[in-house]
Structures are given as structure tokens and as C-alpha cells.
């Protein structure tokens, strides 16, 4: 009873620093001090009286914002959004060019899923534009020309009328303003050498291929000019989180184009960007290419974890470690760390490692479930670039003196020199060091 009879002090936040609904906090059993206003708060002795400013309902959340503060918060958000929209419209009006108007023809090298999706996307940008696909499969060629379907990869998606296909390189390349290169990395050198005589030396090559050439460790920015015997062949790398199926369905997507030629990067940005495809630009070609290549290897590792049912904790730890390894190598090769946290790095890594549409992840899942690599590859009708790129990882790690345990483990599994179970045990037994 004595504790109940002792004075209770009420702490009230100064209304000038809060809304009309200040919080009240009671401090029992404190020595009595005179009531005296403070700069921020006031204290008064005695039994607290009900405040008309406070809700008396004990069930109401005291941290709930008052109507006035809710209106203020909404006003701030609305003003910020309106400023963003005004800036966006102003920027778009200034950035408009006549790139799309001037482009008469685009050639797409390769008739795979992503090449087909990009051919359809570009064709939809302008009905008068000629989009010519250079494909080697006569059946795919007939399917596109006669029925406007790529029966092998998109049997249910009709292609625009201005998409045609041919097996003749000279016909496909004649008069092209841009070239989209969608041939798998491991076959690119021989393919390009075979068509080099028909390639205009000023034709910009937009590379859609992600990976490293196994024997030479070359990136596409090195393969294309060397195979065409033209060191000045204009080059752009297109990368980022993008599944071909979602592009075909015109779902919102964001990608990045990287080129050392800033004007060329902006031109390709204008050519490709539309209401459902955002295109950012970068001058970090190395960072974009390395991230795009190595994320396929990391996706195989993520698939192995899923196939072995190792849980979400291990999946998160593995992908985080893999991201660090990609960043270490990319920066040693001259790439920028910021690139690895962008669309072509973290963005593409998240999509490829966590979504089952990824071919590379599916390979890993089946490996983790106990299937043999040769059986997996023989059952696939598309190329999983991570399988061949994994072999280049060890050589790159040694060349640039970078420790890459996760990606090296994938390479060892691909070579049948390590089982997934043994790899997990070895990785978990590595020295526990400071995170970098």
C-alpha cells in the first residue's frame, strides 16, 4: 500500500515536438521534485489525471499515428512521387533520339530461346523494321517463316510478322544496322569465323551470350573482335536478370548495356528500351561480363544445395559466398565492385540461383539429387553455359590469385573429381576467417 501512496511522476513530451497525441510514461517510486518546465519535457508530481489528448481505450495502440500525422506522411510521400515523375518525364523528353527511326534492319545470330525473345522484342518496337534471324536448323527456319513460331522454344508464342529467318549469312547480315549475338559462347569463335567475310566492320555487335571460352578464358568482348579479325568492331554487352519466357510475355524487366563507347551504349539503350523493358548503361564491360558468366556457375551450386535438401540457411550462405567470390575476381580483372551489386551482378544472381526456370540451376538440382552429368546434359535441348564456364574458373582463380572455394568446388564436381556431398563437407571445414 505504501508504494501505491507514493507520488507518481508523469513524463509528457512537449507538444511542440510531437503531434496532438503525446505519449505518457509513468515513473513510480521516484523522489518528489517540483513541477518545472523543461526545454523538451515537463514533469509534474501527483496522481496523473486523464489527458484529453490521449485515447483512454486501453486496447488502442499508443504508437498508432494520429490522423494529422498520417495525412502529413501521405503528403510527403505524394510530393516525393510527383517530383520523381516530373524528373522522369523531363529526362525522357531530353533523352529522345532518332535511333529507332533510323534503324531499318536488325540481325539476330542464333535461333535459341533468348535470341528469339530479343528478336520478337526488337520487331515489336517498330513494325517497319526488318528483323532477320540467322539460324542453322532448317526446320526452325521454316517454322518461323511459314507459321511465325519458333516451334522448338516458343511453340505457343506467335512472332511478329516482320521477323524472318534464314540460313544464309550474307542475306541475314546485308544492310543490318545492329547485330544481336545469341550464339553460345563455346561455339561463337567458329561461328563468327565462318561469317566474318559478310560482317560490316562498323556493325555494332550486341552480345547476349554469357560465359567464358573454356580453352582461352576469353570473354565475348574479346572473342567477337578477334574472330572477326577486327579489333575495332563496335561491341556492347547486354546482361541482367531476364528469362526469355518473361520477355516474350512482356513482363516488366530491367537490364544493362555495357560498352566503352558511351554514345553507342546510349544508342542501344534507345533501341531496346520500352514500357516493359528498362535499360541502364554502364562502361564497365569487364564487370558486366564476368558477373554474367560466373553467376551461371553459382546457379549450379545453388541447385546442388536444393537437390540435396540442405535447407534455406545453407542456400543463403552459399549464394552470399559466391557473390563475394565473383566480386573478388571481377575487381582483380579490372571490374568495379558497384557493378557486382547491380543488375548484371546481384540482380542476375538472384534470378538464376533462386528461380527454377534457370537451366543452370536445374542442372545443379539434378546433380544434387544423384544424377550423372552426362545423363543430365543429354536430356536437355538448351545449353547450360555454367557447365563449360565452370572449367575456366580454376584457371582464372589461379591466374589472378583469387581464392574461390564455392565456384572451384562446382568445377571439381563437373569434372567428376568430387561428389556434391564431399564438396559440402570440405567447404564447411574451411578455416573460419574474417568476412571480406
What are the CA-CA distances from residue 274 to residues 7, 94, 96, 120 (Å)? 69, 16, 12, 13
What's the total number of domains in the chain?
2
pLDDT at 63: 57
Q: Which residues contact 384 (CB under 8 A, 6 or more apart)?
A: 296, 300, 359, 360, 362, 363, 377
Element (H, E) at 219: none
**The last residue of a domain, from among 267, 283, 299:** 283
Cell of 14: 512537449
Say whether both 223 and 346 belong to one domain.
Answer: no
Say whether both 106 and 238 belong to one domain.
Answer: yes
163: in domain:
yes
More confident residue, 17 or 423: 423
User: What is the DSSP pairing of strand 235-239 with strand 253-258?
Assistant: antiparallel
Instruction: Find the CATH number of the domain harbouring 209.
Output: 3.40.50.720
pLDDT at 127: 94
pLDDT at 60: 57
**The last residue of a domain, from among 222, 256, 283:** 283
pLDDT at 251: 97
CB 104 within 8 A of CB 177: yes
Instruction: Find the CATH number of the domain harbouring 376.
Output: 1.10.1040.10
Say whether both 274 and 307 belong to one domain.
Answer: no
pLDDT at 299: 95
Say whether both 241 and 320 belong to one domain.
Answer: no
pLDDT at 356: 87
Element (H, E) at 201: none
194: in domain:
yes
Is the whole-model pTM more than 0.85? no
Distance CA 125, CA 102 (A): 13
Distance CA 12, CA 34 (A): 15
CB 245 within 8 A of CB 382: no
225: in domain:
yes
421: in domain:
yes
pLDDT at 123: 97
| pLDDT tens-digit map of 377-434 | 888 877 787 888 888 888 999 999 999 999 999 999 998 899 999 999 999 998 888 8
Question: By mean pLDDT, which of 77-81, 142-146, 425-429 is the weakest?
Answer: 77-81
70: in domain:
no
The domain in which residue 369 lies consists of 291-429
| pLDDT tens-digit map of 281-323 | 999 999 999 999 999 999 999 999 999 999 999 999 999 999 9
Active-site positions read 295
Amino acid at each position: 500500500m505504501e508504494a501505491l501512496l507514493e507520488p507518481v511522476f508523469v513524463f509528457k513530451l512537449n507538444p511542440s515536438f510531437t503531434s496532438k497525441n503525446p505519449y505518457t510514461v509513468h515513473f513510480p517510486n521516484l523522489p518528489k521534485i517540483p513541477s518545472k518546465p523543461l526545454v523538451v519535457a515537463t514533469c509534474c508530481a501527483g496522481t496523473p489525471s486523464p489527458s484529453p489528448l490521449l485515447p483512454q481505450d486501453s486496447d488502442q495502440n499508443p504508437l498508432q499515428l494520429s490522423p494529422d500525422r498520417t495525412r502529413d506522411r501521405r503528403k510527403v510521400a505524394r510530393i516525393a512521387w510527383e517530383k520523381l515523375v516530373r524528373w522522369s518525364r523531363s529526362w525522357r523528353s531530353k533523352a529522345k533520339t532518332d535511333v529507332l527511326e533510323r534503324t531499318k534492319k536488325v540481325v539476330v545470330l542464333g535461333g535459341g530461346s533468348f535470341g528469339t525473345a530479343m528478336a520478337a522484342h526488337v520487331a515489336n518496337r517498330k513494325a517497319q523494321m526488318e528483323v532477320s534471324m540467322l539460324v542453322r536448323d532448317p526446320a526452325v527456319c521454316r517454322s518461323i517463316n511459314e507459321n511465325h513460331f519458333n516451334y522448338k522454344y516458343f511453340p505457343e508464342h506467335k512472332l511478329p510478322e516482320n521477323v524472318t529467318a534464314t540460313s544464309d549469312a550474307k542475306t541475314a547480315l546485308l544492310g543490318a544496322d545492329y547485330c544481336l549475338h545469341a550464339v553460345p559462347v563455346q561455339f561463337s569463335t567458329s561461328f563468327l569465323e565462318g561469317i566474318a567475310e559478310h560482317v560490316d566492320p562498323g556493325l555494332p555487335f550486341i552480345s547476349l551470350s554469357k560465359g567464358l571460352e573454356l580453352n582461352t578464358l576469353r570473354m565475348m568482348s574479346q572473342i567477337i573482335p578477334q574472330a572477326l579479325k577486327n579489333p575495332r568492331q563496335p561491341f556492347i554487352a547486354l546482361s541482367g536478370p531476364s528469362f526469355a519466357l518473361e520477355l516474350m510475355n512482356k513482363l516488366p524487366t530491367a537490364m544493362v548495356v555495357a560498352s566503352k563507347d558511351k554514345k553507342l551504349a546510349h544508342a542501344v539503350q534507345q533501341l531496346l528500351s520500352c514500357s516493359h523493358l528498362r535499360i541502364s548503361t554502364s562502361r564497365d564491360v569487364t564487370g558486366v561480363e564476368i558477373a554474367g558468366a560466373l553467376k551461371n556457375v553459382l546457379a549450379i551450386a545453388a541447385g546442388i544445395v536444393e537437390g540435396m535438401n540442405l535447407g534455406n540457411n545453407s542456400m543463403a550462405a552459399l549464394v552470399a559466398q559466391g557473390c563475394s567470390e565473383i566480386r573478388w575476381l571481377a575487381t582483380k580483372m579490372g571490374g568495379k565492385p558497384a557493378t557486382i551489386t547491380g543488375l548484371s551482378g546481384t540482380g542476375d544472381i538472384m534470378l538464376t540461383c533462386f528461380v527454377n526456370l534457370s537451366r543452370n540451376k536445374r542442372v545443379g538440382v539434378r546433380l544434387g539429387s544423384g544424377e550423372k552429368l552426362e545423363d543430365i546434359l543429354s536430356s536437355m535441348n538448351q545449353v547450360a553455359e555454367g557447365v563449360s564456364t565452370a572449367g575456366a574458373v580454376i584457371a582464372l582463380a589461379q591466374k589472378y590469385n583469387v581464392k574461390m572455394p564455392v565456384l572451384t568446388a562446382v568445377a571439381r564436381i563437373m569434372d567428376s573429381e568430387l561428389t556434391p556431398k564431399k564438396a559440402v563437407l570440405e567447404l564447411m571445414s574451411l578455416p573460419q576467417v574474417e568476412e571480406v
